[in-house]
Amino acid sequence: MGRPEKPILTLNSGLYALAQWLRQQRSGAHLTYAALAENTIYTQTTLQRATSGERIPKLPVVEAYARGCGADVREARRMWRNARWIEHRTLHPRSPAAPLPELVTEPAELLAALRELYYKSGAMPLDEIEGRAGIGRLPHTTVHRMLHGTAVLQRDQVRAFLEVCEVPGKEHEAWMKAWLRVWRHRKQDQHERPLAPPVENFDRVVRALLSEDRTQRVVDLYHHASERGFDAALDAAVVSIYRYKRDQIIHADRMRAVERLIRAHRTRDVVLGRTAAG
C-alpha cells in the first residue's frame, strides 16, 4: 500500500466531489497509481494531480482515469462538467442567465442559450468539441463564431452540439423547435411579427424568474410580449404574476415593484400608440 493521499483542498464543491469520486474508484479497483498508469496513456504524476483538488483536470484525463478503474465514464464526465460550471459561475458571478430554449424566438436569444449550454457542459476546447462531434459535423471555427455571436448553427450542427454536450435526448425537441423559430424569424420580412413562444411557457418561466428574484427580467418578458402583440401570452404572464401574489410565493414588496414597472411600460406603450385603444 502507498502513502495516504493528501486532503483535497478546494473551495469548488464540484471539484472536491470529482476528486473524491476518482479516488474512491481507484481504491475500489485496488489499483496503485503506477498500476493505473499502465491502464492509461497518462503518467502516474498526471493521474495523481487529477485528484489533488489543485485545479480541474482535463476531461480526457478524467475519462482515462475512470476507464482505467473500470468506472462509469459518463458519470465522470457529468461530475467534471459540474466542477467546470461551478468554476465559471464563481469567476463570472454577474453573467446574465440565458433564456430557456422554449422561449427562444430570435437569433440573439438562441446564441445566448447555446453559449450558456457550452459553459454548463464544461467549456471544452473547440478542437476537442470538433473531434467529439465527428468529422465535418461541427467545425471548431463555426463554434468559435457562434460563441462570439457572429454565426447561428445550422440544424444538424445544433444536433451535433447537443450530443457533444450530452444533453438528454428528451430535451432535444425543445432545442430544435427553438432553432426552427429562429430560422423562420430570419426568413420573415422585418415588418412581420416574429412567432410567439407557446403560451404555456410564459406561465412556467415567469414563475421561475420570480422565484429567483429576477424581477427586471419579468418586466422585460412582459414588455417583449406586449410589443409584439402576443396578447394570449401577455395574459398568461399577468395571470402567473397574480398567482404568485395570491400564493405569497414572493415577497409583497417585490410584487409591488414588479407591478409598478409593468404599469410604467404599459403607460409608455399607450402613449406611443403600441397597444389598441379601449
The pLDDT of residue 5: 84
DSSP 42: S
- 12-23 tens-digit pLDDT: 999 999 999 999
Q: How confident is the model over 119-153, as pLDDT tens digits?
A: 999 999 999 999 999 999 999 999 999 999 888 89
- Give the count of alpha carbons within 13 A of 94, CB side only: 0
Q: What homologous superfamily does CATH list for 13-91?
A: lambda repressor-like DNA-binding domains (1.10.260.40)
Quick one: cell of 9?
483542498
For the chain, give every residue range classified as CATH 1.10.260.40.
13-91
Average pLDDT over residues 162-170: 95
Nearest to 111 by CA among 147, 59, 57, 155: 147
Q: What is the pLDDT of residues 65-87, one digit of tens each?
A: 999 999 999 999 999 999 999 99
Q: Which fold has domain 101-187?
A: 434 Repressor (Amino-terminal Domain) (1.10.260)
| Residue 249, number of CB atoms within 10 A of its CB | 12
Q: Supply the mean pLDDT for the chain.
A: 79
pLDDT level of residue 97 (50, 70, 90 thresholds): confident
Grid cell of 119 as nine digits: 459553459
Answer whether 151's CB lies under 8 Å from 111's CB: no
Sign, CA dihedral 227-199-108-123, equals positive
Specify the pLDDT at position 150.
87
